[in-house]
Structure 1
Amino acid sequence: MIAELSQLSEVAEPTAFHRFLRALDDRRSLLRVYTQNIDALEEKSGLTFGIPAEEIKGTSHRPSKGNAPAASSEVATTDICPQDDSTTSQIPLPLKETPKCIPLHGTLRSMHCMTCGHSCPLRHYINSLVSGVPPPCPQCTALEQTRQLIGKRAHSIGKLRPSIVLYNEDHKDGENVGKVVRKDLLGSSKGKSRTGADLLLVVGTSLRVPGTKRIVREFAKVVRSRHAAMDPSNLLADEPALCTRGLMGPTSPPQPSTERYKEPPVQTIYLNLDFPTPTSQWEGVFDVWIRGDAQAFAGMVHEELEKEKLAKEVGHERKRKRE
């Protein structure tokens, strides 16, 4: 099954929603994408992709079992694979910039050793996956051959497994994922203010995975607190308004309020055909539930972006003629 999924993802093309994400990135409006998908189509759309490795100080050395390198194929390593002549590997190098897309559940592009953490492209082991026999780790094999040549006692050779995260399984790169999340939650300093996420868009997920649920809740809190810090006073001088903030669920009507507040901008959006259950867990988390298809949504937004682009071009042309 994994072999078939890997082959299908290799030939698959990015969707309209992937292109929408790329368009946001081109406009410098995209802070980060956290994806639960394992097909890596975000990278095909042109987004930088992967999990940044920890910065390693000092000289490179083979990591211990408890401190294995990131096995994601997105991280720069020297692979020891069947067609390679190399017998040594290096520590993953830290990326200069944090990738735009972070795969929360790994990808179908790589396999890693359960003993030493070494990573290899999954496509080299399709036949082994089809047969159901876990392939031996090429790095462990090479090191064991060296040990035999110098007369040292034999060590066990690790087995490779797909670098995807299964249910109820810890992410082997979870610490590095957590660092990116914390970085995005805190924002970055820019002059006297801090910049960070100002809109949360949650798309196509049932929100049943505990880790993902926690990330969504934390970002929802942050975007709201950031708006409150920038605009602490929502008081209007005139008539009272109907308070509709905080979507409680698909059947929950807006609650009237006699307090005089202006309506703040939408900051948290949930886009999916079905609302996550139980709905009580998501009271006050989302401002808006868009009940629809992600691809249709992306197409509509693309049309609006094109209209905006055309309007700007027309405006510039009129200004040029006046001058």
Structure 2
Amino acid sequence: MKVKIAISEPAEVIDPFITDLSSYIAKSKRAIVVTGAGISCSSGIPDFRSSDGLYNLVKQRHPDTVLRGKELFDATLFRNEKTIKCFYTFMAELRALISNANPTLTHQFIQSLTHKGQLLRCYTQNIDFLEENLNIPAIQLHGTMKEVRCTLCSATYDFTDDYAQQFMTGEAPICPQCESVEAERARQGKRQLAVGTLRPAIVLYNEDHPNGESIGQLQVNDLKKKPDLMIVMGTSLKIPALKKFIKQAAKIIHEKPGGIVVFVNRTSPTKEWEKVFDYEVLGDTDEWVEWTNKKLADEKLMNQTALKLRRLAKERQESADYEDDDDDDEKENTPVRKRRNNSAKTTAKQPSLKRTLSKSQTTITHFAVTKRRNTAHAKANKVV
């Protein structure tokens, strides 16, 4: 049964549903959290595309460069010198905002799951690294603005103020490691090689994640631990590989009695998620967390609600079993027609036991961390 909760509705209408949902969260032992940009909106990082947002600030610095907001996060921008300069200025502005941002109430909620030993892993699409100071076990699916990476040798360094100042002018700093190697080659009288430049260590659309294989293995391992809860917050679910992971996790969670999958966002998910999410909470994630925290703090209420939900689940199961018995009775009273004995032909068509078992196993293979937009071409690839 799917439950939809609109935070904007009267408290007396949604309170019982939030209580039930809070009870499921309270009893979870292995939770997965998936987050997107929506959970950081109240941290002081403004919307990129608003009238006073970052994109318009960048356009003021580079008025001759025609670049749409989405293209600022696409690897194809490195084909043009003007768009490269625009990208670096945008990244410098973004870093300045992230440096002054503080974790939100939603981040603190995820931290509380960590402290209670309930959180298996947090998978975040955000690059603001606000989870780090809270010691949340987070996997950054799209990289981080905390570091810069060489475009040639992949050496990484802290994203310092000095690097930010160079980026602000639209210029890329020289990679210290490449520079050191080149100086040594010059000392030895060897020919010169290319020297790389530094860029923020984030994953753009149409490029591979440098830690793709290890992230894929972590996802496989987490699914093997049989999670019983997944909360997806602040994301519009556009990246195909992340969508696939969420659906695989949901399938495993729904195999457990009482396992639920929750979606919290300002806008509704599309119809493809109709059978994936058990609870859809429409509204600000911080506001939902505030409601939920109050419920979780009432231990007596949580225990009473847990007993109620177990009783209802038992009644539904007994009702389902009764309906199955009725179906069996009908089948027993149905005349059976004589059929030819085609057992040999049927046996030949059935797959082997080994093959059947292999199909039932849940694994993620060939984890490619090429981050693409959700286009027809992207759907043909396994991507993050």
Instruction: Please give the range of the TM-score, normalised by the shorter of the 2 chains.
Output: 0.5 to 0.7
Residue 233 of structure 1: aligned partner: none
1:19 equivalenced with 2:19 (yes/no): no
Looking at structure 2, the residues matched to 298 and 23 of structure 1 have their Cα atoms a distance apart, in angstroms, of 11
Unpaired runs of at least 5, structure 2 = 1-89, 304-384
1:157 equivalenced with 2:195 (yes/no): yes
Residue 51 of structure 1: aligned partner: none
Looking at structure 2, the residues matched to 298 and 199 of structure 1 have their Cα atoms a distance apart, in angstroms, of 16
Find the residue that maps to 1:41 and give its secondary structure.
coil
Letter paired with 2:120: L
8 Å Cα contact 2:295/2:301 also seen in 1: no
Letter paired with 1:213: K
Residue 214 of structure 1: aligned partner: 244
Find the residue that maps to 1:169 and give its secondary structure.
coil
8 Å Cα contact 1:111/1:119 also seen in 2: yes
| Cα deviation code 1:174-215 (max 9, x no counterpart) | 11211111111112xxxxxxxx31101111110011122112
TM superposition score normalised by structure 2 = 0.53
Write the mapping of 1:181-200 to structure 2, written as runs, cut at 5 A. Answer: 181-187=219-225, 196-200=226-230
Letter paired with 1:180: L
Residue 206 of structure 2: aligned partner: 168
8 Å Cα contact 1:271/1:290 also seen in 2: yes
Unpaired runs of at least 5, structure 1 = 48-99, 188-195, 228-263, 313-323
Match of 1:10 among 67, 77, 99: 99
TM superposition score normalised by structure 1 = 0.63
- Cα RMSD over matched residues? 1.9
8 Å Cα contact 1:17/1:294 also seen in 2: yes
8 Å Cα contact 2:149/2:157 also seen in 1: yes
8 Å Cα contact 1:266/1:288 also seen in 2: no
Looking at structure 1, the residues matched to 181 and 143 of structure 2 have their Cα atoms a distance apart, in angstroms, of 27
Residue 270 of structure 1: aligned partner: 263
1:306 equivalenced with 2:297 (yes/no): yes
8 Å Cα contact 2:123/2:140 also seen in 1: yes
Write the mapping of 1:100-139 to structure 2, written as runs, cut at 5 A. Answer: 100-123=137-160, 124-139=162-177
Match of 2:127 among 38, 41, 52: 38
Looking at structure 1, the residues matched to 163 and 210 of structure 2 have their Cα atoms a distance apart, in angstroms, of 21
Q: 1:217 to 1:310 in 2, by over 3 A?
A: closer
Aligned sequence identity (%):
39
Letter paired with 1:110: E
Looking at structure 1, the residues matched to 254 and 152 of structure 2 have their Cα atoms a distance apart, in angstroms, of 43
Looking at structure 2, the residues matched to 309 and 161 of structure 1 have their Cα atoms a distance apart, in angstroms, of 52
Find the residue that maps to 1:31 and give its secondary structure.
strand
Looking at structure 2, the residues matched to 213 and 24 of structure 1 have their Cα atoms a distance apart, in angstroms, of 23
Looking at structure 1, the residues matched to 291 and 134 of structure 2 have their Cα atoms a distance apart, in angstroms, of 18
Whichever of the two has the greater Rg, that structure is 2
Residue 216 of structure 2: aligned partner: 178
Question: Which one has a larger percent helix, Structure 1 or Structure 2?
Answer: 2
Looking at structure 2, the residues matched to 119 and 155 of structure 1 have their Cα atoms a distance apart, in angstroms, of 20
| Cα deviation code 1:148-168 (max 9, x no counterpart) | 111111111011111111223
Shift of 1:266: 5.0
8 Å Cα contact 1:13/1:44 also seen in 2: no
Aligned length: 213
Shift of 1:135: 1.3
Find the residue that maps to 2:119 and give its secondary structure.
coil
Q: 1:137 to 1:309 in 2, by over 3 A?
A: farther
8 Å Cα contact 1:111/1:161 also seen in 2: yes
Shift of 1:36: 0.8
For CA contacts below 8 A with separation 6 or more, give which structure has more relative contact order. Answer: 2
